[in-house]
Amino acid sequence: MRRRRTSSGIMTVSAVAYAVTVFLLLPTILIIPMSFGPDRYLHFPPNGFTLHWYAEFFADPEWVDSTLFSLRIAVLTMIVATVVGTLVSLALVRGRLPGKSLFELLVVGPVIVPNIALAIAMFLVFDRLRLTGTTVGFVVAHTALALPFVIFTLLASLYRFDADLERAALSCGAGPLRAFFHVTLPLIAPGVVSAALFAFIISFDEPVISFFISDLDHKSLPRKMFEDIDYNISPTLAAVATMLTGLTLLALTAGHFLRRGMSRS
């Protein structure tokens, strides 16, 4: 009697959990077939098949420019955040850093402070420094946002491997640089790849700070999407949404296989 009640309880909770999974995925997935529909008003199921909205995206210089701008910022942010993050992680784990608890506080800062607060504050200062709408402004802002995730990922990698390996290299006569590039970096490479991918996605999809530090000629893709959603919901957005979902899936899969390949070799 008791066993049957238990298992029916488990079945109910499982059913709820599967329903939540559907709720989590369905809205984004529904957009994909609708982006191929011919009507100006999105229909489900779509009344036909066309690539018209994709063509419209690539024919519109505003969409293309903002996408290229965001790509450039995301690639630069990825490089800067990964390098800066790796250096400070090494100092935190392998160094004798004065005032370490202050650093720990600073690392979690951008996670705890709401994005809107950072965005308004950056808008004020970047406006005075004439950094709004500039590549430098965007890359610095997005690097600050990405750093906590980069550093957490790298700290986890650095803790996981044996520091004796590094010390062995040092005592065998390798300098700190040589020890880093020949021993440490290969061992933490999977973590570095994850961190870099995180930084790329965080920058490429970042909507709040981009909203405020964009200017008329230099808009990030999220800022352009925000305007279009607010003023004219056209099916081109469905095409953009579909491509972005595909890109995210690609990045997650690439990260998974890269990490697996590296930890094997």
Residue list 90-149, contact with other proteins (CB under 8 A): 90-98, 100, 103-104, 106, 109-110, 112-126, 140-141, 143-144, 147
Q: Of 20-28, 48-56, 60-68, 187-195, which part binds other proteins (CB under 8 A)?
A: 20-28
Q: Is residue 232 within the footprint of other proteins (CB under 8 A)?
A: no
Q: Of 54-62, 82-90, 188-196, 257-265, which part binds other proteins (CB under 8 A)?
A: 82-90
**CA–CA separation, 38 vs 53, rounded Å?**
8
Q: Which of 64, 68, 87, 185 binds other proteins (CB under 8 A)?
A: 87
Inter-CA distances, 69 with 40, 84, 85, 99, 217, Å: 28, 22, 23, 38, 10
Name the one residue in this structure whose structure tokens are 């990045």.
Answer: 251
Cα 186–Cα 187–Cα 189 angle in degrees, nearest 5: 60
List of residues 6+ apart from 241 with CB closer than 8 A: 28, 31, 35
Q: Sign of dihedral through CA atoms 211, 217, 222, 226?
A: positive
- Residue ranges in 154-213 that form contacts with other proteins under rule CB under 8 A: 155, 158-159, 163-164, 166-167, 170, 176, 179, 201, 205, 207-208, 211-212
Q: State the minimum distance, in angstroms, from the CB of residue 262 to other proteins.
A: 19
For residues 198 and 153, the answer to whether their CB atoms sit within 8 Å is yes
Name the one residue in this structure whose structure tokens are 């390798």.
Answer: 174
Q: Is residue 83 within the footprint of other proteins (CB under 8 A)?
A: yes
Q: Which of 79, 189, 241, 258 binds other proteins (CB under 8 A)?
A: 241
**Which one, 64 or 120, has the nearer CB to other proteins?**
120
**CA–CA separation, 76 vs 151, rounded Å?**
17
Q: State the minimum distance, in angstroms, from the CB of residue 66 to other proteins.
A: 12
Q: Of 46-54, 59-67, 233-241, 257-265, which part binds other proteins (CB under 8 A)?
A: 233-241
- Residue ranges in 21-80 that form contacts with other proteins under rule CB under 8 A: 21, 23-25, 27-28, 30-31, 34, 41-44, 80
List of residues 6+ apart from 183 with CB closer than 8 A: 165, 166, 169, 174
List of residues 6+ apart from 174 with CB closer than 8 A: 182, 183
How many residues touch other proteins (CB under 8 A)? Answer: 98
**Which one, 49 or 253, has the nearer CB to other proteins?**
253
Q: What is the DSSP letter of 129?
A: T
Q: State the minimum distance, in angstroms, from the CB of residue 222 to other proteins.
A: 6
Q: State the minimum distance, in angstroms, from the CB of residue 70 to other proteins.
A: 11
